[in-house]
Amino acid sequence: MGHVVPRPDAVAKVTGAARFADDYDFPGLLHGRALRAGVPHAILKRLDVAKAKDLPGVVAVLTAEDIPGERNHGLVIHDWPALVGVGEKVRYVGDAVALVAAERREIATQALELIEAEYEPLPVVSDPVQARQPDAPLVHESGNLLKHIKVRKGDIEEGFAQAEVILDEVYHTPTMEHAFMEPECSIARLTAEGRIEVYVGSQIPYADRDQIARCLALPPEKVRVIGTLIGGGFGGKEDIAGQIHAALLAQATGRPVKVLYDRHESLLVHPKRHATQIRVRLGVKRDGTLVAAQTELYGDSGAYASLGEKVMTRATTHSTGPYIVPHVKADCYAMYTNNPPSGAFRGFGVTQSCFAVESAMDQLAERLGMDPVELRRKNALRVGSVTNTGQLLTESVGLLECIDRVEAEMRRLSGGRDPFKPQVVPGAPNRVRAWGLAVAFKNTGLGGGAPDKASAEVELFTDGTAEVRTSSAEIGQGLVAVLQMIAAEELSLPLEKVRVLLSDTDLTPDGGPTTASRQTYVTGNAVRLASDVVRQAVATTLAEKYDVPPEGVRFVEGLAQVNGHSVPLGEAVAMMKAEGREPKATYEYWAPKTQPLGTGGDMHFAYSFATQAAEVEVDLETGEVRVLRVIAANDVGRVINPLGLQGQIEGGVMMGLGNALTEEFIVEEGRVITDRLARYRMPSIVLTPQIIPIVVEHPTGEGPYGAKGIGEISSIPTTPAITNAVYHATGVRVKRLPVDQDWLAREIARRERPQDV
């Protein structure tokens, strides 16, 4: 535990042997493609597929009427049609209206061009604020409000009455794209037994299975989802992409069908990060004590629900920051629009609200004439605090330590100068540098009363090896390594004796969704406890044989020691088998129960905390911003896999940097402008700052060895740390992401140049 160990899956990934979905081939494989509506809001009036059907090489063309089961899918609400039928509504440009399977991909593409579709355009709902206007066109018959989310604590009027200084600001964050490097790919085929197998890199294999089965009108057992490697997910591979389409085409043709998105389709279709408008109103005493916080959020959930409600709930509950505030009122409107759907994306809504509240805290510090670090430290959550949802924090709150250590490092690196004052770069009078700081928290696990459980199976073999099985997904975060380490630790086996099998709905028990930074905690615990059951079974067998109490059996490095004998584990397994005992166990782990929002109970079983400081350099003439250094402290409970943690921190910081400086998924009147990778720029290696990680370990009692999530927290405070630094360098406050250098240069030109102090 806590040792640097290379990932077991890494070698195959560096030799090219690792197989992602598009790397699979089957005899007779057909290529499937979907015709996308290309209009944001319309009624499909007419659809003629005759010409496409006649094209040589086309094997099947399917439309909505050909769907045997339920038309709609969805992770929470089934509102997303697999195909839009004639007379039905198109709700965003990426809606599919027809499917083609052909012998070659070019033929399928050509066939799509031969399909005639006519639409009657409807007025477009293009942003969430517009969506809430009383006269707004309706995206769904049920109305445009997906959910009004409320957080209430204390008495907000009373809070603001006590306040001596009040800050009121509005911030905007854009839609963002996961841009995982591997575009979505699904392959479906029928088996000899008449079942359907779908190969796909999915974050939630069991949810895929159920959604496929419903649309195909099959019992779930008839569908097997086999998870392939995933070339990045970040939340963007939780919803259905081509899984249902591939299965429908395979069912219709009797042949294997691959549905591979090209980048353009990937950009148009899959759910994004919610664009938001966030108003933050903070009330404080002169000494910096927060007394009231009111927020109002609008979230653009796009055309379909996906995980929109849950994402915006997280945005709302985290919208007043990791601070002690006696009086809180937060309202969020998650709205349907005719934009591409929004769903899960690393940070799950908290990325957006953290930018808003952490910008506001910096502004507030300036108003109070207070050091921005001091203001945060004064109000920071700690053990014994009550969150704005009414949860009493009883353990594992490492925020203060994160703040202290980042501040110390930042001050050390600034060499005694005020890190928040602009420094002119020697020899380059047009360039200034300054630091900015931000803090964050993020729940681990689903929370809010959702049953959060994972199953894992552990089996021992006579060759002394073990296999761990669970349907959880490896999306690059290093889960395989973590589960391998946990099982090895519990079974006292060398690492290389433990194999990990993931993501197969036939062979692996349900690990639940790979989301919410929950895998190490929830699935990790399932593996830990399943391993424990198996180990005890071995101990019992040996105890009987050597006539000692089971506690007398010790496990060391692949051996069981009992009564002075050393029995190799494999031999012990053979004994078990000879006695008809199964050397395997499945454990269904239930994470501690949580309470729904509004009940005042524990909404989450754990939170991770972080503080980051970023140093930026701004070219005052061109408005160009570079991030030079980032200090990142994360309270992750307990480090299990340092290499995995390193990757999560580096990747998280870079994603936060992209969020601050480079990324904006542009949709205008429902039409996607950034529909090529060339137009959606994610940070490249040249933008990489020096990243200085600081690990803070405040263990959480239930977590495996004390661990809680890291996957998301590492990227959340980066963005406001950078924009706060931009402010300190230039005096220009960024309230709309990403930082637009064009705007920044013009704003700077309008001000006096800051002087070196």
Partner 1 sequence: MALWKQYVRPGSVEEALALLHAAQGPTAIIAGGTDLLLDMQQGRHPPVDLMVDVSGIREMRQVRQEGERIELGAALTHHEIIESPLFRERGRALVEACSLIGGPQVRNVATIGGNVAHALPAGDGTIALLSLGAEAQIASRDGRRWEPLEALFAGPGQTTFDREREILVSFRFPASGPREGSAFRRVMRPQGVAIAILNMGAWVRCGPAGEIADVRIAVGPAGPKPLRARGAEEALRGRALDEAALEAARLALLAEARVRTSRHRATAEYRQHLIGVLLRRTLYTAHARAAGEKVTA
Partner 2 sequence: MLKLWVNGEAVEVEVAPGEMLADVLRYRLGLTGTKIGCNEAECGTCTVLLDGEPVLSCSLPAAKAAGRKVTTIEGLAQGERLHPLQEAFVKQGAVQCGFCIPGQIMTAAALLERESDPDEEVIRQALKDTLCRCAGYPSIIRAVRAAARSLKTG
Question: What are the residues binding ligand FES (CB under 6 A)?
Answer: 181, 232, 476
The smaller minimum CB distance to partner 1, of residues 506 and 669, is found at: 669
Scanning 57-187, the segments in alpha helix (DSSP H) are 105-114, 128-131, 156-162
273, two tokens: 């990060």
| DSSP states of 485-499 | HHHHHHHT--GGGEE
Applying CB under 8 A, the residues found at the interface with partner 1 are 106, 110, 621-624, 661-664, 666, 673-674, 676, 678-679, 681, 687, 738, 740-742, 745-746, 749
The smaller minimum CB distance to partner 1, of residues 141 and 752, is found at: 752
Over the range 264-294, which residues count as b (16 or more CB within 10 Å of their CB) and which as e?
ebbbbbbbbbbbbbbbbbbbbeeebbbbbbb
The smaller minimum CB distance to partner 2, of residues 126 and 523, is found at: 523
Residue 738 binds which entry of partner 2, partner 1, ligand FES, none, CB below 5-8 Å type-dependent: partner 1
Q: Which residues contact 236 (CB under 8 A, 6 or more apart)?
A: 178, 180, 270, 271, 272, 343, 344, 345
69, two tokens: 């089961």
Cα 133 → chain centroid: 31
Give least dist CB 646 to ligand FES, A.
13
Give least dist CB 750 to partner 1, A.
11
The smaller minimum CB distance to ligand FES, of residues 40 and 476, is found at: 476
Residue 622 binds which entry of partner 1, partner 2, ligand FES, none, CB below 5-8 Å type-dependent: partner 1
Cα 119 → chain centroid: 35
Radius of gyration (C-alpha) of the chain in whole angstroms: 27
The smaller minimum CB distance to partner 2, of residues 19 and 286, is found at: 19
Give least dist CB 181 to ligand FES, A.
4
The smaller minimum CB distance to partner 2, of residues 656 and 754, is found at: 656
In the region spanning residues 94 to 153, those forming contacts with partner 2, defined by CB under 8 A, are: 106
- Cβ atoms 72, 79 nearer than 8 A: yes
**Site membership for partner 2, residue 643 (CB under 8 A):** yes
Give least dist CB 7 to ligand FES, A.
11
The smaller minimum CB distance to partner 1, of residues 602 and 675, is found at: 675
**Site membership for partner 2, residue 9 (CB under 8 A):** yes
∠ CA 119-120-122, rounded to 5°: 120
User: Among the candidate windows 127-135, 174-182, 302-310, 330-338, which touches partner 2 by CB under 8 A?
Assistant: 174-182
Closest residue to ligand FES, judged by C-beta, is 181
Q: Could you identify the residue written with the tokens 């299975």?
A: 209
Residues in the chain: 757
Q: Could you identify the residue written with the tokens 């012998």?
A: 103
Q: Kindly tell me which residue out of 466, 654, 726, 732 binds partner 2, with binding defined by CB under 8 A.
A: 654
Residue 557 binds which entry of ligand FES, partner 2, partner 1, none, CB below 5-8 Å type-dependent: none
**Site membership for partner 2, residue 666 (CB under 8 A):** no
Give least dist CB 262 to partner 2, A.
6
The smaller minimum CB distance to partner 1, of residues 406 and 627, is found at: 627
- Cβ atoms 376, 410 nearer than 8 A: no
Give least dist CB 267 to partner 2, A.
10
Give least dist CB 637 to partner 2, A.
20
Give least dist CB 22 to ligand FES, A.
12
Q: By CB under 8 A, how many residues form the interface with partner 2? A: 58
Residue 662 binds which entry of ligand FES, partner 1, partner 2, none, CB below 5-8 Å type-dependent: partner 1
722, two tokens: 């950078």
Helix count (H) and strand count (E) of the chain? 18, 31
The smaller minimum CB distance to partner 2, of residues 192 and 685, is found at: 685
Give least dist CB 423 to partner 1, A.
20
Report the distance separating Cα 125 and Cα 137, nearest Å.
Answer: 7
Residue 554 binds which entry of partner 1, ligand FES, partner 2, none, CB below 5-8 Å type-dependent: none
Q: Kindly tell me which residue out of 192, 556, 578, 685 binds partner 2, with binding defined by CB under 8 A.
A: 685
The smaller minimum CB distance to partner 1, of residues 424 and 687, is found at: 687
The smaller minimum CB distance to ligand FES, of residues 215 and 654, is found at: 654
With helix as H, strand as E and coil as C, how does 207-253 read? HHHHHHHHHHCCCHHHEEEEECECCCCCCCCCCCCCHHHHHHHHHHH
Give least dist CB 566 to ligand FES, A.
42
Cα→Cα distances 507→332, 453, 467, Å: 41, 18, 11
Residue 6 binds which entry of partner 1, ligand FES, partner 2, none, CB below 5-8 Å type-dependent: partner 2
The contact mask relative to partner 2 for 60-99 (x = CB under 8 A, - = no) is: ----------------------------------------
The smaller minimum CB distance to ligand FES, of residues 308 and 651, is found at: 651
Report the distance separating Cα 538 and Cα 536, nearest Å.
Answer: 5
With helix as H, strand as E and coil as C, how does 528-583 read? HHHHHHHHHHHHHHHHHHHCCCHHHCEEECCEEEECCEEEEHHHHHHHHHHCCCCC
**Site membership for partner 2, residue 464 (CB under 8 A):** no
The smaller minimum CB distance to partner 2, of residues 294 and 641, is found at: 641
Q: Kindly tell me which residue out of 326, 398, 637, 683 binds partner 2, with binding defined by CB under 8 A.
A: 683
Give least dist CB 101 to ligand FES, A.
24
User: Among the candidate windows 63-71, 108-116, 529-537, 681-689, which touches partner 2 by CB under 8 A?
Assistant: 681-689
Furthest C-alpha separation in the chain: 86
The smaller minimum CB distance to ligand FES, of residues 9 and 602, is found at: 9
**Given the DSSP bridges, would you call strands 116-121 and 185-190 parallel, antiparallel or unpaired?**
unpaired
Give least dist CB 115 to partner 1, A.
16
**Site membership for partner 2, residue 232 (CB under 8 A):** yes
**Site membership for partner 2, residue 179 (CB under 8 A):** yes
Q: Which of 434, 364, 427, 437 is nearest to 405 (CA)?
A: 437
Give least dist CB 644 to ligand FES, A.
12
Q: Kindly tell me which residue out of 149, 456, 610, 682 binds partner 2, with binding defined by CB under 8 A.
A: 682
- Cβ atoms 384, 594 nearer than 8 A: no
- Cβ atoms 447, 709 nearer than 8 A: no
The smaller minimum CB distance to ligand FES, of residues 22 and 490, is found at: 22
The smaller minimum CB distance to partner 1, of residues 267 and 357, is found at: 267
Q: Which helix (H) or strand (E) holds 52?
A: helix 50-54
**Given the DSSP bridges, would you call strands 42-48 and 116-121 parallel, antiparallel or unpaired?**
antiparallel
**Given the DSSP bridges, would you call strands 290-302 and 559-562 parallel, antiparallel or unpaired?**
unpaired
Q: 434 by DSSP, 3-state: which?
A: strand
Residue 16 binds which entry of partner 2, partner 1, ligand FES, none, CB below 5-8 Å type-dependent: partner 2
737, two tokens: 């992401």
- Cβ atoms 660, 636 nearer than 8 A: no
Phi/psi at 402 (nearest 5 deg)? -60, -45
With helix as H, strand as E and coil as C, how does 718-747 read? HHHHHHHHHHHHHCCCCCECCCCHHHHHHH
The smaller minimum CB distance to partner 2, of residues 10 and 170, is found at: 10
Give least dist CB 669 to partner 1, A.
13
Q: Which residues bind partner 2 (CB under 8 A)?
A: 4, 6-7, 9-20, 22-23, 25, 106, 178-183, 229-234, 262-263, 474-478, 643-644, 646-647, 650-651, 653-655, 676-678, 682-686, 688, 690-691
